[in-house]
Amino acid sequence: MNVSIRRFAETDSITELTGLLHRAYKKLADMGLYFVATHISEDDAKRLIDGGECFVAEHDGKIIGTILLYAKGKHNPEYYLRDDVIVFGKFAVEPEYQNKGIGEMMMNYIEDYVKSKGIKELALDTAEQAQHLIDYYSKRGYKFVGYHKWSVVNYRSVIMSKQVL
C-alpha cells in the first residue's frame, strides 16, 4: 500500500482530521476511557495543530492517520517541560487501516524528525488501563516514566518515553 507521511497543511480539512480522531479513538471511549481525542472539538483540534506540529499519513489523496508533536503546555508534569523532551499524542489511524504498520510508520517518521531537531527524548501518555497501548509502545522502546492525573480525563495516565538521540 502506498502511504506517505507529511505535515498537515493549511489546505487540509480540520473537520476531516477531527472526524478521524473521533472514529479512531471510539474504541477507547467504548472501554470507558474518555481520552480528549474521543470528543475533541474542531476549534480545540485547530488550536493544538496551530501550536504544535501535526503530521498525517496519506493514501490515495485521503488522510488516514495523524500524529501530533505538542507545544510545551502550562498544565503539564515537570518531565514534559524539560528542554530535551518533546511529547506526541492525538495519534490515530482510520479503523479500517489499522494493523497494517501505518502507526509504526508515523512513529518512525516523528522519531527521525525529533532526532534531526537534536531533541533527546520523545514521550507520550496513555491511560493506565489501556494495556494494549502500553504494550504497543513498550515493544517500540518506550519506557515507563511515571503517572500523572490530568483533570480533563477520567483516568490516571502513564507517561512513557524513548531516547531517540
> Which residues are at the interface with ligand COA (CB under 6 A)?
24-25, 27-28, 91-93, 98-104, 126, 133, 136, 139
**Closest separation in Å from C-beta 102 to ligand COA:** 4
**Closest separation in Å from C-beta 161 to ligand COA:** 13
CA-CA distance, 142 to 154, in Å (whole number)? Answer: 23
The arrangement of strands across the sheet holding 4-7 comes to: 4-7, 53-59, 62-69, 85-93, 121-127, 157-163, 143-148
Cell of 11: 489546505
CA-CA distance, 93 to 65, in Å (whole number)? Answer: 4
Return the residue matching grid coordinates 470528543: 39
**Closest separation in Å from C-beta 162 to ligand COA:** 14
Give the residue nearest to ligand COA (CB). 103
Longest dimension (CA), the chain: 41
Toward ligand COA, which CB reaches closer, 29 or 83?
Answer: 29
Toward ligand COA, which CB reaches closer, 37 or 164?
Answer: 37
**Closest separation in Å from C-beta 118 to ligand COA:** 25
Toward ligand COA, which CB reaches closer, 68 or 164?
Answer: 68
